[in-house]
Amino acid sequence: MADRYNVLFLCTGNSARSIMAEGLLNHRGNGRFSAFSAGSHPTGQPRPEALRQLESAGINTTGLRSKSWDEFSGPAAPHLDFVFTVCDNAAREECPFWPGQPMTANWGIADPAAVKGTPDEIAQAFRDAFVVLDRRIGLFMSLPLATLQEMAIKQKIDEIGRS
């Protein structure tokens, strides 16, 4: 494996969970990771609650945008080492061909954007999703990727998705 890894987080709308995951990994990755996010049917704009959650954790949100996964399937796309779906809908969809055959795993998380309720209940749903993503990204970053064999890495990233 490489010294620097490109990671793509996928969701249907690319407005909440995948956006938060992109921001988290880029912030915490210490130069070892370049994170991206995309959606099969992007909404065109990140949810303000997702951006607020990142900002409240001291994470810069400049440049985060909702985009199609088509940006990552063509010849000009960055080489991807890992692709994680963070919602069950995207995990069930037929994904594009990812050049280089990156490792994939489903890290499904309840959709905070689907929560209906008071502003406090909605904010709590975004906090809950953020906490799960933060924990999973921390576990992922702690893996000795350079020394593990591919099958062991695949097993570990699948386990993280079940945590």
Question: Considering only CA atoms, which of 109, 132, 112, 130 is closest in space to residue 120?
Answer: 112
The C-alpha atoms of residue 88 and residue 108 are separated, in whole angstroms, by 5
Q: Is 11 a catalytic residue?
A: yes
Exactly one of 20, 51, 86, 87 is catalytic; name it.
87
Strand partners, 106: 85
The C-alpha atoms of residue 51 and residue 152 are separated, in whole angstroms, by 34
Q: Is 87 a catalytic residue?
A: yes
Exactly one of 7, 10, 11, 83 is catalytic; name it.
11
**In this structure, are residues 163 and 136 in contact, taking their beta carbons and an 8 Å threshold?**
yes
Exactly one of 41, 65, 67, 95 is catalytic; name it.
95
Positions marked active-site = 11, 87, 95
